Amino acid sequence: MNNYERALELWRHKKPQTDAELAEALNGHSIAFAYHSGKIENEKITYHDTREVFEHDGVTSYTGDLRTLFEIRNAKEANELFLLAFRDRRPLDEALIREFQLQLTHGTYDSRRWQLGERPGEYKRHDYVTGREEVGAAPEDVGVEMAELLEEVRGIDPKDVLTAAAYFHAKFENIHPFADGNGRVGRLTMNYLLVLHGHPPIIIHEEDRRRYYEALEAWDTRQELEPLRTFLRAQTEKTWAKQIERAERQRDKGTR
């Protein structure tokens, strides 16, 4: 059994069914996910500040900029929404994705975007693009493309969920549906898709961002999905490595 299969086995053993059980299964993971996902696009985010906000709802002696603090606080609220959506088994649809985006970007849109009519929780009204290839759907096409993408990943077989998650994330970032927060929203939504289908959620580690961007570019330029799927598989192993080690130590003790 390889480490990816061990991660799947570990998650099947946890088998969360309620929001409380999911929160327990993600003990420590939620903070790490928020830290890494935020830091990929905001170097000012620190693990210490993220942990303080998640555990104590605030930070002491904070000297950073307010936008960064808002982003960390928003990540905590988005995590709560994630748990409640799982509890209610909300389908992955446009309404939930817009709620994720609203929570993650609340209070952080700059004045220029606001003056242009952009609002958190709404699809973009102007032609924002991303990446070296400057990808992004035209504003008038976003609704149709998002609806098509969600239909494509609806009703997937659990054994194909990693492939579906890679496809969803690649297409979502390629559509670039919002004026801000697309990376954070895409990573959080991808994890929701994964847990709904019995797969462990994934932390995309900030120190691996170069390989992450390269995998996304492989889709943007050549519609090659395998680089991102392989990357997500490796990140699954990395995300759950410590818990796998602890579980195996406990198993070894039990057999002695």
Express each pLDDT in 204-248 by its tens digit: 999 999 999 999 999 999 999 999 999 999 999 999 999 999 887
d(CA 49, CA 37): 14
Q: What is the pLDDT of residues 183-197, one digit of tens each?
A: 999 999 999 999 999
Structure tokens at 146: 């998002």
Nearest to 233 by CA among 194, 196, 197: 194
Answer whether residue 250 shows pLDDT above 80. Answer: no
Confidence of residue 59 (pLDDT cuts 50, 70, 90): confident
CA 81 to chain centre: 13
What is the model's pLDDT at position 1? 82
- The residue ranking higher by pLDDT, 159 or 129, is 159
Confidence of residue 62 (pLDDT cuts 50, 70, 90): confident
Q: What is the DSSP letter of 157?
A: -
Confidence of residue 21 (pLDDT cuts 50, 70, 90): very high
What is the model's pLDDT at position 63? 79
Domains defined for the chain, CATH in brackets? 3-244 (1.10.3290.10)
Q: For 68, how many CA atoms within 13 A lie in the half-sphere containing its CB?
A: 18
What is the model's pLDDT at position 64? 81
What is the model's pLDDT at position 256? 53
Return the SS3 of 176.
coil
